[in-house]
Structure 1
Amino acid sequence: MAKDATSPAQSVTELNACVTTTSSHRPVKDTTFRQWVVSNQIGISLTTLSMLLAVHHLYPSLSPYTTPFFQLSYYQPSQGVYIQGWDDIYFVISSVFAFTAIRAIVMEWVFQPWAQSHGLRKKASIRLAEQGWMCLYYAAFWTVGMYIWSQSNYWMDFKAIWAEWPARGVSGLMKWYLLAQLAFWVQQIFVINIEERRKDHYQMLTHHFITSCLLTSAYVYGFYNVSNVVLSLMDIVDLLLPIAKILKYLGCEMPCNIAFGVFMVVWAISRHIMYPLLCWSIYKDVPNVMSWGCYSGATGELISTDGYPDRYMHLISPFLDIDGPICMNRMIKWIFLSSLLALQLLSIIWFSMVIRVAVGVLRTGNAEDTRSDDEGEEEESDEVDSLPKSPANGSVVAAEVSSAEWRRSSGSSARPRRSDHKALLGRIGCETRT
């Protein structure tokens, strides 16, 4: 009888022990807010935009407040152009939500399934999906940028870029193009803060912040034309690089080699020939074409030949009052020129590293890595084996204005304890691991 009485208790104890042992191997992890946002990017973005649309259509009295989210503001019917204003911020905000939704949809519903259908595991498919999104974005915006440039009066004539300044009116296409580009870089700041952090997180955060500030400053100061030219010269490189990386993930060695070679040639032409010519035009042509002084922010007319009305306040006054005076002087010229030259210097350093490493790989089959591996996570071993090539590591060009997503979106397939000089074979070009 005693044995029978203790038998159920023993059974329950054994059952609890079994359940406890099983749960200890697979602990339940609490979902963080960041992980929740990553998992619900599509829903959050589309819900926010849908709510704004609903308010816009259901409450006509609120349409003056909701309209700037969905269409460009400050149209001038008499001139057929758009000018700038504070409501442009709302268009940028809605574009950030739109880019977030489109990026997540394209990656999760198109590129990741496509990559997995070609034999790539989960993390590798995510890396390919990131590159696929970058291809779509830069293909679209480089095409639009080149169209605007080719149809302008400053096509291949850098001196003509400055002739229209400080004309405040721009076409609807130009305004949409510049605001959408700004929204993209703001959205990149959001992305790197919600997704899993990598070793280069703070470098990329700094880069995206500076890029956004430069685009904002150029827009406020009315440097629309030069912004169009700079973005067009930069975006073509960022279009070719993801193409080469996608071919690498898919194991297409020869096409990848060709794409990578074209990428290097285009980089040299666009960033080390055309871009320096643009900088030289700022140095030489701006003083000859632009008259130093202060102009009306509303009409663009010269109101004072004194380009230094105060010590520093005139530098930030256009940000405080869109219609207020906007001044041009040597200090402002050198601020913008120095920023562009700093990017050129970094581009030269990174391109020299690319060339040196690529030549070393071609000559000896290996090369010493003079850079740090900025990928903060390691791929699983089964994922590594599923890749015929090692994904390119782009720390060489990560902080460049138009190469921001190289390190950001590239994956490292290096196993732990794998030597740098062997891992380097898969970082530059499309060589097979040896």
Structure 2
Amino acid sequence: MTKETSAPSPSVSERNAYVSTTGPRPAKQTTFREWVVTNQIGIPLTILAMLLALHNLYPSLRPYTQPFFQLSYYDPATDQYVQGWDDIYFVISAAIALTAIRAIAIEWVLQPLARCAGLKRKGSIRLAEQGWQAMYYGFIWAVGLYLWKNSHYWFDFGAIWVKWPARPLSGALKWYLLVELAFLVQQIFVIHVEERRKDHYQMFSHHVITSTLLTSAYIYGFYNVSNVVLCLMDIVDFLLPSAKILKYLKFELACNVAFGVFMATWFVTRHILYNVLCWSIYKNVPAQMAYGCYSGSSATMISTDGYPNAFAYMFGPFQSLENPICMNRSIKWIFLSFLLCLQGLSIVWFSMIVRVAYGVVRTGNAEDTRSDEEDEVTVDTQTAANGSIHLTANGANTAPVADSTSGLDRRATSVRARGRGRVPFDQSDRKALLGRIGCEKPT
């Protein structure tokens, strides 16, 4: 009779190792960025609610909390405002409020409407993002156009510089400029906390240049030129999202017409009127603004020396409203250089748009592949029948001058996601350019 040998029992460490490898995996920890993205409604509303509670419950704190909720530096004698450091608080609170409004509009209003229109989850998200862009830029452009239309410099670029260096401005103009600055600050926040787009660094550079230019122009009292520049820029940022919305809703003809209007408007506003404005700075500023230093409070000339104290004079207006404000060739060229940098970006983007549009119309052969971050995507094959240009319904959210542009729809292919938010483009220049403006193969 043979004696069976029993296998040695596993040790405690071996049992623990077995359980740890076969049991459920621990949940992935949420990063700070993901937590911020998930709570884009709750965080801003909580901050604003706390400020509002402090403002109402503790009257002694109102001198500190009031600048968050209303414009500062009001002069009842003239019924106008001037600028100052407390304006920073209004910009901060406006940026926080815009973050909450954007999230509410996308998640609670636009996305449900898109689902009701028959769009699937990813399409509804993209329509909602473009819808928010159209809502904001449509509203703020209308406000800016109203201010420009009712001003003394309506399409008279030489008159923009007549009243400088008068520092007071109306409440409506001050609110408009500070909200525009707050939106730029909020956009810098958005592009860093949400999934990075293909043109992340271009957009970051654009927002930094624009916000720096707008802040400096505000401090130096260049309100009028700021109003004109923003009007010329914002109309394009309204038209492109509108065209993409039409594409998502499958209004192909309307989308093509809207995209044609977008291209024409871009060329007229950003490459004709904008350059006329830059020429006005070069030509009219010396004629309308005598070089020298002026009193920050009375706007009277106090010195014909436009270069006092080396470079310190440039930062005087940033430190106090009472400090002298000077104008000379250096200051003129600093502001003009910033504007020309924006023009350079616009030329690069528009050359992409024109080259792609020409290639699609002429050859009707522009295809591309791209990976979405989640679901498997299938798009029916379509045959090129004419030379019309379409905007994609499955594009990423990228934009020149705060514009949003998107990539290609897939053609007769079904691929799985290969990464979150990555858009791999073919090395072909035409295909890559096509993806930049959101055109697709003609149908």
TM-score by length of 1: 0.86
Contact conserved, 1:390 with 1:427, CA < 8 A, in 2?
A: no
- Give the residue type in structure 2 aligned to 1:406: S
Q: Is residue 409–residue 440 contact of structure 2 (8 Å, CA) maintained in 1?
A: no
Q: Spell out the pairing of 1:292-303 with structure 2 (5 A cutoff).
A: 292-303=291-302
The answer for the alignment partner of 1:65 in structure 2 is 64
Question: How far apart are residue 432 of structure 1 and its match?
Answer: 4.8
- Which residue of 2 is the match for residue 23 of structure 1? 24
Cα drift, residue 343 of structure 1? 1.8
Q: Determine helix, strand or coil for the equivalent of 2:169.
A: coil
Does the alignment pair 1:332 with 2:336? no
Q: CA deviation at 1:211?
A: 1.4
Residue segments in structure 2 that go unaligned for 5+ positions in a row: 1-16, 383-391, 419-423
Paired residues of 1:118 and 1:250 also in contact (CA < 8 A): yes
Aligned to 2:372: 378
Any residues of structure 2 matched to 1:197-208 within 5 Å, and which?
197-208=196-207
Distance 2:317 2:117 in 1: 52
The structure richer in helix per residue is 1
- Distance in 1 (alpha carbons) for counterparts of 2:216 and 2:321: 12
CA distance in 1, matches of 2:116, 2:367: 35
Q: What SS is found at the alignment partner of 2:404?
A: helix
Residue equivalent to 1:319: 318
Gaps of 5+ in 1: 1-15
Q: In structure 2, give the amino acid aligned to 1:275.
A: Y
- Percentage of identical aligned residues: 62
Q: Indicate conservation of the 8 Å contact 1:93/1:183, yes or no.
A: yes
Give the letter for the 2:363 counterpart: T
Q: CA deviation at 1:322?
A: 2.8
1:404 paired residue number: 402
The DSSP-based 3-state class of the residue aligned with 1:23 is coil
- Whether the 8 Å CA contact 2:94–2:179 is kept in 1: the answer is yes
**Distance in 1 between the 2:379 and 2:20 partners?**
35
SS at match of 1:300: coil
Q: Are the aligned partners of 1:121 and 1:383 in contact in 2 as well (CA < 8 Å)?
A: no
RMSD of equivalent CA atoms: 2.9
The farther-off stretch of 64-73 and 383-392 is 383-392
What are the superposed Cα offsets for residues 73-130 of structure 1, whole Å, 9 maximum, x if unpaired? 0001111110001110110011011000000000111111222333433333222211
Q: Which residue of 1 aligns with 2:41?
A: 42
Query: In 2 relative to 1, CA 135–266 (structure 1 residues): closer, same or farther, beyond 3 Å?
Result: same
**CA separation of 1:213 and 1:297: change in aligned 2, threshold 3 A:** same
Contact kept, 8 Å, 1:75 with 1:83, in 2: the verdict is yes
SS at match of 1:116: helix
The answer as to whether partners of 1:168 and 1:300 remain within 8 angstroms in 2 is yes
Q: How many Å separate the matches in 2 of 1:17 and 1:130?
A: 47
1:346 maps to: 345
* Paired position in structure 2 for 1:137: 136
Q: Which residue of 2 aligns with 1:310?
A: 309
Instruction: Count how many residue pairs are aligned between Structure 1 and Structure 2.
Output: 408
Question: Is it true that 1:237 corresponds to 2:236 in the alignment?
Answer: yes
Contact 1:394 1:427 in 2 (8 A): no
Partner amino acid for 1:361?
A: V
Distance 1:22 1:109, change over 3 A: farther
**TM-score (norm. length: structure 2):** 0.84
Q: Which residue of 2 aligns with 1:159?
A: 158
- How far 1:207 sits from its partner (Å)? 2.0
Distance 1:36 1:315 in 2: 41
Secondary structure at the aligned position of 2:376 is classed as helix
Partner Cα distance (2:40, 2:96) in 1: 9
